[in-house]
Each structure stands twice: as structure tokens, then as C-alpha cells.
Amino acid sequence: MHLENIKETIGSLDLTSAINKINHYLDKQEHEELNIGITGESGSGKSSFVNALRGLGDGDDGSAKTGVVETTMKPEVYLHPKHKNVKVWDLPGIGTPNFQADKYLKLVNIQCYDVFIIIASDRFKECHKLLAKEIIGMGKKFYFVRSKIDLSITAEKRKRKANFDEKNTLHSIREDCENGLREINVKDPVVFLISSWELEKYDFNLMEEKIEKDLPQHKRDVLLLALPNITLEINEKKKKAQENNIAKVAFLSACAAAVPIPGLSIAVDLAILIKETERYLKVFGLDDESLQNLCERSGKSIEYYKSLMKSPLHAGINRAVLITMLEAASVAVTVVKGTLACVLSCIPVIGSLTAGGISFYTVSAMLHKALDDIEEDARNVLLDSVQTEA
């Protein structure tokens, strides 16, 4: 449904039905689907990478099975635990003696993936070459990941001891894979060195930036919001994506305010604020489930992490807290009412609706404040976890 049709639609409904319609529209924001296919040899770390992309550890509830032998015999889909529209596919291994790249790509239905990743945990091999060449022949894009970099670094350090140089080791690993890709005429090959156990190190951020850049605009935010919060850069991108969406949801508030149904405006505002702030907490990993997972990894308590948070929403989202924040935002609107008319005149449709315009401005201010607070809390939690690991 287009935003322009919202006011007309809810105007013909009773209060409960109108609120349900608004909630339905808010839910539709997360229906854009993203499919990520992960393939590689048996034991290359495919399943661990699938889990890491979804913010899970091996053995967590809902995680992909891992093992030294191939555990994936057919394409198996794993939904992101918080963003069900993000589907990560654990694909069968490619290292068997009878491997045939063309038949494999038909088996896994390569056309259905928005992102296709080939993972290797050792030297670049013939099976990688055959698969990459066949993908190129089909006009599809792939990303090559050299996994288990932490283990490679540890093994090399043990072997070379005093003569160990991490920079040279990483360069050699990268060069081996790049040379293999050049043999099949890949110009300017890009290889990402990654540890599924330490995503914040090495090239995970570079891989995310490259994939994000290559995806169409409507898929980029889907990828970004589903990524684990491992760097301040990812946090900043997530915040920007949420900021870009505020005007759309505040428009719903304006539409409701312009409809003469008693109690509709405040009920819709609360519905919007609850949905959006819950989404902010999920996106930044500050919901109770995410914090519990963090506690299990770090050995710290939820109370400890919540002590790092300053947002009034950290203790939970409830109507009383949101109404207080709405009242504060309304005061801000009153303070700037001298310039409000000018601001609203620049907003199509809303400018001519005084009540709708004020509601738009109030909800926008509220959401921006909530987003700023929650992102700052996420930053504090992330910095604490980095210091703990150091």
C-alpha cells in the first residue's frame, strides 16, 4: 500500500481495525527477502560461517550443524533469528572426487541467491577453480573467502616462532587465492580473509562493504540490519539506515492524526513507537535475547550490560515510558512552533494538515531521540566487549 492511500484507508475503519492496518504496514517493512548461499569443501568452515553471519555460535539453538566431515547433503536454509527475511543457505560440499561444477550449480539452484560465497580453508584448489569458472560463465557474481585465518596464523606462528611475521603470512595466503582466480581470468581478484570466531578482525568489514555496494538499493538495508554488531562502522551504518526510515513511519502518524476517530492518533503513535523502538533494540543487539547470548559468551550479567546503558528504554518498552517521551517531544514541538509552519510547508500532503503536521514532527523527534540513545548504548556495549577481549 502506498503511503498516500493510508489516510483514506484507515478513515473508513473503526479504531481497532485502523491500528491493525498501521501495524500491518509497519510489519511489511521487513518483508524484502535476501538469500545468501555459502559453499565450499567439507571442513572448510561453511556451517560456522553461516552461524556467524546470523550472530550465532556453533552449538547455539538454531545453529547450522558443524563437523570435520560433510554434514550438509542438500541445500539447507537457516533464517536469521531476528530478521526472518534474511535466509542463509548452507550448501553441499564441493570437494568430492566426482565433483562437476555445472551439475552442482543446477543442484543448488544458483539463480535464487542474491549473494554467493565460496569458502576455502586451505590452499586454492581445482574444485574452487572449476566452480568459480562455471559461475563466471553463467554471468553470476561470487565472493571468495579464505576462512579459519585465526587457525592459520596460530599454526604459522608455532612453526616459525621468532621469525613469524603476521603481515607477510596474511599476504601469502591472500596471494595464493588471488593467483588461483587469475588463472581463470578473474581481473583484479578480491579475496576476503576471515575468522568466523573473530569477525571483528581481518576482512569481514571489507567483505560486508563490497557486498553492500554490489547489491541493489532495496537489498542493502536488509543485509546491513542483519549483520552482527562487531564494529563501530557497522553500528553507524545501521543508524543511518534507520534514520532514513523515520520520515516514512512518522507519515503514518500524520495520517492518523488527520482522521477524526477518537483516540486513534495517540493509539497509532504508541503502536509506531513500540514497533520502531523494539526494532532498534533488535537491530543493535540490545534486546533481551541478544544480551543473554552476549552474557553467555562474556561471562558477564545482563545487569552489568544494562548498567552501561543510559536510554530510558533499556529497562524495557512500556506505554508509560513512551508517553513520557512523547510528551517531551511535544514540548520540543511547542518550543519551535515559530518555525514549524515553514518546515511543514516543505512536506507534501502533511503541510496542509495542521494536526497531522504536528504529529509528524513530534513522532519524528521522538524516534530520532530514541535512535540516538539506543545507538549510543550499543556503542558502549561494543566498546566494553572489545576491551574485555583485549
Q: What CATH number corresponds to the domain at position 192?
A: 3.40.50.300
pLDDT of amino acid 330: 57
Single-letter code of the amino acid located at 202: Y
Q: Are 80 and 23 within one domain?
A: no
Alpha-carbon gap, residue 177 to 63, rounded angstroms: 29
pLDDT of amino acid 335: 43
Q: Are 117 and 206 within one domain?
A: yes
Q: Which grid cell sits at 208?
A: 560486508
Q: Are 215 and 233 within one domain?
A: no
pLDDT of amino acid 81: 83
Residue where one domain finishes, among candidates 226, 246, 277: 226
At residue 215's C-alpha, the angle toward residues 27 and 189, to 5°, is 150
Of 51-60, 312-321, 351-360, the least confident: 351-360
Q: Are 157 and 86 within one domain?
A: yes
Q: Are 130 and 153 within one domain?
A: yes
Residue in the block written with cell 564494529: 231
* pLDDT tens-digit series, residues 224-257: 878 888 888 888 988 988 888 888 777 777 776 6
Mean pLDDT value of segment 97-116 = 89
pLDDT band at 1 (very low <50, low <70, confident <90, very high): very low
- Going by the DSSP 8-state scheme, the letter that residue 39 receives in this structure is E
H or E element that contains 24: helix 15-28
Mean pLDDT across the chain: 79
Mean pLDDT value of segment 323-339 = 54
Q: Are 128 and 253 within one domain?
A: no
Q: Are 138 and 268 within one domain?
A: no
CA 361 distance to own-chain centroid: 28
Environment class of 27 (CB within 10 Å of its CB; exposed 0-12, middle 13-18, buried 19+): exposed
Q: Which grid cell sits at 261?
A: 476517530
Single-letter code of the amino acid located at 217: Q
Q: Which residues in the chain belong to E strands, given as ranges?
A: 34-40, 76-79, 86-90, 115-120, 143-146, 191-193
* pLDDT tens-digit series, residues 148-199: 999 999 988 888 777 888 899 999 999 999 999 999 988 889 999 999 888 8
Q: Are 165 and 309 within one domain?
A: no
pLDDT of amino acid 341: 43
Q: Are 281 and 340 within one domain?
A: yes
Q: Are 39 and 145 within one domain?
A: yes
If one counts the domains in the chain, the total is 2
* pLDDT tens-digit series, residues 280-323: 888 898 888 888 888 887 788 888 888 888 887 766 666 666 66
- Going by the DSSP 8-state scheme, the letter that residue 92 receives in this structure is P
- Which residues touch 70 (CB under 8 Å, ≥6 apart)? 42, 43, 92, 93
Single out the residue of 283, 289, 275, 262 nearest to residue 377, CA to CA: 283
pLDDT of amino acid 340: 43
Residue where one domain finishes, among candidates 172, 202, 226: 226
* pLDDT tens-digit series, residues 362-379: 788 888 888 999 999 999
Question: Helix, strand, or coil here: 47?
Answer: helix
Question: How many CB atoms are closer than 10 A to CB 337?
Answer: 11
Q: Are 148 and 84 within one domain?
A: yes
Alpha-carbon gap, residue 330 to 361, rounded angstroms: 9
Domain range enclosing 188: 34-226
Question: Helix, strand, or coil here: 281?
Answer: helix
- Percentage of residues in the chain having pLDDT higher than 70: 75
Alpha-carbon gap, residue 268 to 288, rounded angstroms: 25
Mean pLDDT value of segment 349-353 = 41
Residue where one domain finishes, among candidates 189, 204, 226: 226
Phi, psi of 119 (to 5 degrees): -115, 135
Phi, psi of 301 (to 5 degrees): -95, 160
Alpha-carbon gap, residue 53 to 147, rounded angstroms: 13
Q: Are 234 and 294 within one domain?
A: yes
Cβ(333)–Cβ(365) below 8 Å: yes
The pTM (predicted TM-score) of the whole model is 0.74
